[in-house]
A and B are shown apart, each in its own frame.
Chain A
Amino acid sequence: MTTSPTSDQQNSGRRSGITGKQKKRISWALQSFLILIAIIIMLTPIVWIFMAAFKTHVDVYQLKLFFTPTLENFGLVFDAPYYLGDKLLNSTIVAFVTVVFAIPIATMAAYSFSRFELRGETAMLVIILATQFVPAVVIILPFFVMFRDIGLLDTRLGLILVNLAIVMPFAIWMIKGFIDGIPMETEEAAMVDGSSRIQVIRNIVLPMAAPGLLTAGIFCFIIAWNEFLFALILTNKDAVTLPIGLALFKAEEGDLWNLLSAAGIIIMLPMFVLALIIRKYFVQGMTMGAVR
């Protein structure tokens, strides 16, 4: 038989099975497939809610992809008897005030933990972290009794206090991480240059830790915004927040999915915006410590 050398090479290449290039292609396809599955699983409920929020009450039970969108749901949820506006206001105030108090206090605590030798420092840090692992259901009853006795039940102040307790340990640990990343020499240089401790913190530490503070603040806001269990038990009328407000749409005529979805979007929207901001600063914050 007379075969050209080229076809010989091609044959032997085929016989040797999968080449490196093919392997790469297969693994790429596999990865893409898995990622696609993950995306579908995670996004389907959100897509469903987005569609439901713009459907009429009649359409909502049909899995129609094409329908005439309506904005009436968003109007309805703010009207009687739901008054979602009140809940939105409550949620905003509670989450906002929580962050406004949590971040400065946590920053001071984190700075002390990071820069000073404190008696029982490790123990304190561990205890602070440990409070995060106490299941909320376990302590909710004492909270209820306490708040009932001092008249904090169903008040925003009560919720703010609870949320502070929830976010503080997290905020302290997170901000401590950022401050640890600031080289000690930078602070010492500022002190020798003529700053007091307060000036060092204001002029050097805070600007350098700013991405970290912002990230921590947004995380705290999200936690407070989404907090459900305490709000469920400790409020019933005046201080009801958005996540609890969702229960309103469970009416005698069944679950009002279209209204529920509209309210759901109102809850989610700020989270999307914050996630966009956080994405930018989170990376920046992580690398900030590397500046030498």
Chain B
Amino acid sequence: MAEVTLKNLTKRWGDFIGVDNQSLEIHDKEFLVLLGPSGCGKTTTMRMIAGLEDPTDGEIRIGDRVVNDDLPRDRDVAMVFQNYGLYPHMTIFDNIAYPLRVRGTPKNEIEPRVRKAAEQVELTEFLHRKPKALSGGQRQRVALARAIVRTPKVFLMDEPLSNLDAKLRVTMRAELKHLSRALKITTIYVTHDQIEAMTLADRVAVMKNGIIQQLGTPDEIYNDPANLFVAGFIGSPAMNLINGSVQDGHFVTTGGTKLVRVAAPDSPSVVLGVRADDMRVAEEGEGDLDVRIYAFENTGEATLLTVQWGKQRVIAKGDRHLRKDQDDIVSVSLDSDHLYLFDPETGDRIKR
């Protein structure tokens, strides 16, 4: 068990920059999620930690040891791949036993350890089968068992759930969380799915274009986004980003309606961020601003109202018993405690 430290890590392929001079400290026993859209450098970062990719520049430490020049096998990490990376010619037992065998574990220890790992992922009845005979979820469990059969310093998981169907992903996510809490081993987890990041992580590093945009707990990145990118990336539905200005301490829409009090200096151009949850929906005339409903969606647990806000469309979450129709007029109010202002030029948060 160990912390992982990245210092000024850079990966370039010719002119293309995969990871741009990033530093990151991952604590012992921490579950850190690297989150971002595809091509943001999250997988590259993980592959450099695993030793499958050589950094162009910078330093990688696992524990006290600089591992830049170590082969993958000498780094004492275990990795779970998106496509499982199972050995199709071996049985499940042999798949799980492989890391032990290749590292010269005494023969009499192998069987009980494989059984224990298989038990932890509920695979005991399939040990004699080949990967071909298993479903996607079972294959991913095999990959997990192969990772936990040893006690490595660090777990690396590269989008392990993204090949599973939606329902299975939710159950596997819970199993993964349960397992990681039980094992207490430093874990680095790569995903583009913000729900996975929110639910699994101790801390999340949101990445874009090879740069970490924000590093924080799920609470922090959800409730205190550092910039427009993080604000727009985290949350479902995505945070509403409304153009306007600040005049006399109030947010004013591009249409000229003075709306809500904000604690920010006057500015001719700002972006107001507000989550659908933080907008109250009321009958016409009873809120801050009357708007026309563009679409009304009932998800069962809540209602989503897409409303026409000047030239923009904004999503508000309503009570699950609310019933409205397209083109109805409703009134929305903003909760002034949960508003975020951003500089439209730099994308940075304007803190109060």
- In contact, B79 and A291 (Cβ under 8 angstroms): no
- In contact, B81 and A191 (Cβ under 8 angstroms): no
- In contact, A194 and B89 (Cβ under 8 angstroms): no
Whether A191 touches B83, Cβ cut-off 8 Å, given contacts A203-B102, A291-B88, is no
Whether, in the assembled complex, B85 has its beta carbon less than 8 Å from a beta carbon of chain A, the answer is yes
- In contact, B88 and A208 (Cβ under 8 angstroms): yes
Whether, in the assembled complex, A292 has its beta carbon less than 8 Å from a beta carbon of chain B, the answer is yes
- In contact, B132 and A291 (Cβ under 8 angstroms): yes
Interface residues of A in 161-207 (CB under 8 A from B): 183, 185-186, 188-196, 199, 203-204, 207
- What residues of chain A lie closer than 8 Å to B51, measured between beta carbons? 191-192
Interface residues of B in 67-121 (CB under 8 A from A): 71-73, 75, 77-79, 81-89, 98-99, 102-103
**Measured CA separation A233–B231 after assembly (Å):** 79
Whether, in the assembled complex, B52 has its beta carbon less than 8 Å from a beta carbon of chain A, the answer is yes
- In contact, B83 and A193 (Cβ under 8 angstroms): no
B78: which of A186, A188, A192, A199 is its contact (CB, 8 Å)? A192
Whether, in the assembled complex, B50 has its beta carbon less than 8 Å from a beta carbon of chain A, the answer is yes
Whether, in the assembled complex, B146 has its beta carbon less than 8 Å from a beta carbon of chain A, the answer is yes
- In contact, B88 and A192 (Cβ under 8 angstroms): no
- In contact, B88 and A191 (Cβ under 8 angstroms): no
**Measured CA separation A195–B102 after assembly (Å):** 6
**Measured CA separation A292–B131 after assembly (Å):** 9
**Measured CA separation A199–B73 after assembly (Å):** 11
Which residue of the partner chain B has the closest CB to A207?
B89
**A197 CB, nearest partner CB in chain B, Å:** 9
Which residue of the partner chain A has the closest CB to B143?
A189
- What residues of chain A lie closer than 8 Å to B156, measured between beta carbons? 192
B77: which of A190, A192, A207 is its contact (CB, 8 Å)? A192
A193: which of B84, B88, B99, B132 is its contact (CB, 8 Å)? B99
**A276 CB, nearest partner CB in chain B, Å:** 23
**Measured CA separation A292–B87 after assembly (Å):** 9
**A143 CB, nearest partner CB in chain B, Å:** 41
**Measured CA separation A196–B103 after assembly (Å):** 10
Which residue of the partner chain B has the closest CB to A208?
B89
**A286 CB, nearest partner CB in chain B, Å:** 15
A190: which of B71, B84, B98 is its contact (CB, 8 Å)? B98
**Measured CA separation A185–B195 after assembly (Å):** 26
- What residues of chain B lie closer than 8 Å to A210, measured between beta carbons? 89
Which residue of the partner chain B has the closest CB to A188?
B52
Whether A196 touches B85, Cβ cut-off 8 Å, given contacts A189-B79, A190-B98, A191-B52, is no
- Among A195, A207, A288, the most chain B Cβ lie within 10 Å of the Cβ of A195
Give the 8 A-B CB pairs with smallest separation, nearest first.
Answer: A189-B85, A185-B85, A291-B88, A193-B99, A191-B72, A194-B73, A192-B79, A194-B103
